[in-house]
Amino acid sequence: MKPTQKELTNWAITQIQEKYKNDIALLIGISGHALKNDCHGECFDYFVPANDNGNKLAQTFIIDGVGHDLYPRSWKRIENMAEFNDDFTKGLADAIILYSRNEDDKKRFAEFQEKLILNLKDNNFMFKKALLKLDTAMEIYRTVMFEDSFYKVKMGSGLISHYLSIAVACMNGTYFKQTLELETSELSQMKEIPDNFITYFEDIIIAKSIEDLKKLCYEIISTTRKFIEAHRPPKTEKLKTPVYKDLAAWYEELSLVWRRLYYYCTASDYRKAFNEALSLQYELNIIKEEFGLMEMDLLGSFEPENLILLKQRAQELEMYIISEIESHGVSINKYDTLEQFLVKNS
């Protein structure tokens, strides 16, 4: 421990013991969190208050040009770190306890560290966290695409790279340990990363135009999406048995959409045909997942000048749905005439 580091650590502990003995649970330091010649974060990074009064320990100050921030992280924030809802994973995983109020506080902190390690080993858990980071990156991208200011696009591009890097780390069951290094230095050592990810990341750093940045953002998001999907963990939970009576009821309701679609295709009304096809495609995507059906691409056959292709594809999909229902021993509630319906339902 460097002289300045040791003296500041002792100062913080003395402050706690003399003024906040019952108010501070832990004082935490983070190794490798400082530049070569300073001790920011090494002497202390944060403290865990035991109550509201403990928050008064918080201070920010500069000594010989080096800024220090003694700030609080509540037990809830510690829990968020263990659950990967806080990106400062290193702050829990690699934490050093510099002071503890008692053994119970140390034990509680250690339990959160153990929980973090267990989560790292849980492929399904980390996959879900990777998806959340991907979603965040895509939300930023949505804004970036409409920005015309270079610095805003540059900032958004950097954030996209950052969140996607965390997603990749999650997929590798790890986190970034070198907070002062560019993520690519650790990414290059991970077992699996998306194709060209590091190239896109570093190109974003040196890109000089808005157009290049937007293109690179698309590429790095695209390669990450493909990577995550290709590494989706197999489902281990018992799948629910589909209730094909529900599929029959769905078809009975949606049959009218098919009817309208056929009508508009025959009438060469591409605007209304598109509207009906869009609605039907949305519904098909939902039941595909619910009933484990094949991929049902309807809109891929939409050509405004040749709606017969769309009609034919819709007919194929309708026959497929009917066959799935009937092959599972379920009858579709349909009648040739009103009289048949009235006789059956009187």
Mean predicted confidence (pLDDT) in 205-219: 97
The rounded percent of the chain whose pLDDT value lies above 90 is 79
Chain segment 40-87, per-residue pLDDT in tens: 546 788 999 999 999 999 999 988 888 888 999 999 999 999 999 999
Chain segment 287-341, per-residue pLDDT in tens: 998 898 999 999 999 999 999 999 999 999 999 999 999 999 999 988 888 888 8
Name, in order, each residue with C-beta under 8 angstroms of 335's C-beta and a sequence gap of 6 or more.
Answer: 341, 344
User: Under CATH, what is the fold of the domain 123-230?
Assistant: Four Helix Bundle (Hemerythrin (Met), subunit A) (1.20.120)
Q: SS3 helix, strand, coil % of the chain, rounded to 5?
A: 60, 10, 30
- Closest to 82 (Cα-Cα) out of 120, 31, 28, 33: 120
CA distance 334 to 222: 45
State the average pLDDT for the chain. Answer: 92
Q: What is the pLDDT of residue 40?
A: 52
Name, in order, each residue with C-beta under 8 angstroms of 304's C-beta and a sequence gap of 6 or more.
Answer: 270, 274
Amino acid at 161: S
Domain residues of the chain, as ranges? 3-121, 123-230, 244-344
Cα 29 to the center of its chain, rounded Å: 29
Q: What's this model's pTM, rounded to 2 decimal places? A: 0.78
Q: Are strands 46-49 and 24-30 parallel, antiparallel or unpaired?
A: antiparallel
Burial 75-114 (b: 16+ CB within 10 A, else e): bebbebbbebebebbbbbbbbeebbbbeeebeebbeebbe
Name, in order, each residue with C-beta under 8 angstroms of 185's C-beta and a sequence gap of 6 or more.
Answer: 178
> How large is the angle between the packed helices 197-206 and 150-171, nearest 10 degrees?
160
Mean predicted confidence (pLDDT) in 158-167: 96
Say whether pLDDT at 1 is over 50.
Answer: no
Which residue is associated with the tokens 């190239």? Answer: 199
Write the DSSP assignment of 252-281 as a string of letters: HHHHHHHHHHHHHHHTT-HHHHHHHHHHHH
Say whether pLDDT at 260 is over 50.
Answer: yes
For the 3-121 domain, the top CATH level (class) is alpha beta
Class of residue 244 by CB neighbours under 10 A (exposed 0-12, middle 13-18, buried 19+): middle
Amino acid at 291: F
Write the DSSP assignment of 81-134 as a string of letters: HHTT-SS-THHHHTEEEEEES-HHHHHHHHHHHHHHHHHHH-HHHHHHHHHHHH
